[in-house]
């Protein structure tokens, strides 16, 4: 990931904080700050399909986040001091999680449509849609995954041996 040309050329990057069954992202987050890039993480809005990407000030800033009922660390709902990516310069790159992927770029998420809805918002931003890279285990690559009309394909799926 760290040697990927899209990563190297990006300044504003959104990345998920790993759940136990996902690719570990801690080292990537540390590298984002080491490289002087800006890092944004998801804040999911409960009982909706809305998500914002909020800026982290450092890798250590993760320790200030709260755990949701889904066991995901994210900024508190009343944390209004953080920049939302689309309120500023947009995003260059989004690293995306998922349950399954196919080689056509289709992604099976957790069913709420958070990333699809967020990418629709990105397309309306002056900076346009960021490049999207899904991070996966080899076992998550399928022949095909079910897709709906509003599902947005990822630009690239990275997994071991790809």
Q: What is the pLDDT along the chain (162 residues), one digit of tens a residue?
A: 999 999 999 999 999 999 888 999 999 999 999 999 999 999 998 788 899 999 999 999 999 999 888 788 999 888 889 999 999 999 999 999 999 999 899 999 887 889 999 999 999 999 989 999 999 999 999 999 998 888 899 999 999 875
DSSP string, 27-93: HHHHHHHHTT-EEEEEEEPTTSS-EEEEEES-GGGGGG-EE-TTS-EE--TT--SSPBGGGTT--SE
pLDDT of residue 12: 98
pLDDT of residue 38: 98
* Residue 113 marked as a ligand binder: yes
78: its two tokens: 């009343």
Predicted TM-score of the model (pTM) = 0.94
Helix, strand or coil, per DSSP, at residue 138: helix
* Residue 17 marked as a ligand binder: yes
pLDDT of residue 162: 57
* Residue 109 marked as a ligand binder: yes
Strands 66-67 vs 73-74: parallel, antiparallel or unpaired: antiparallel
* Residue 120 marked as a ligand binder: no
Residue 50: how many other CB atoms lie within 10 Å: 15
* Residue 159 marked as a ligand binder: no
* Residue 100 marked as a ligand binder: no
CA dist 9 and 5 (Å) reads 6
Architecture of domain 5-158: 3-Layer(aba) Sandwich (3.40)
Boundaries of every domain in the chain: 5-158
* Residue 107 marked as a ligand binder: yes
């Amino acid at each position: 990931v760290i040697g990927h040309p899209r990563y190297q050329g990006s300044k504003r990057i959104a990345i998920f904080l790993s759940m136990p069954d996902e690719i570990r992202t801690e080292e990537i987050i540390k590298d984002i700050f080491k490289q002087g890039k800006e890092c944004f993480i998801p804040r999911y809005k409960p009982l909706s399909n809305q998500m914002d990407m909020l800026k982290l000030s450092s890798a250590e800033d993760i320790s200030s986040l709260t755990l949701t009922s889904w066991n995901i660390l994210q900024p508190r709902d009343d944390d209004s001091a953080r920049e939302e990516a689309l309120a500023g310069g947009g995003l260059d790159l989004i690293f995306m999680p998922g349950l399954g992927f196919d080689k056509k770029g289709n992604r099976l998420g957790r069913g709420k449509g958070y990333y699809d809805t967020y990418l629709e918002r990105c397309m309306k931003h002056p900076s346009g849609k960021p490049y999207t890279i899904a991070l996966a285990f080899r076992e998550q690559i399928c022949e095909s995954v079910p897709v709906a009309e509003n599902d947005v394909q990822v630009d690239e799926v990275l997994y071991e041996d790809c």
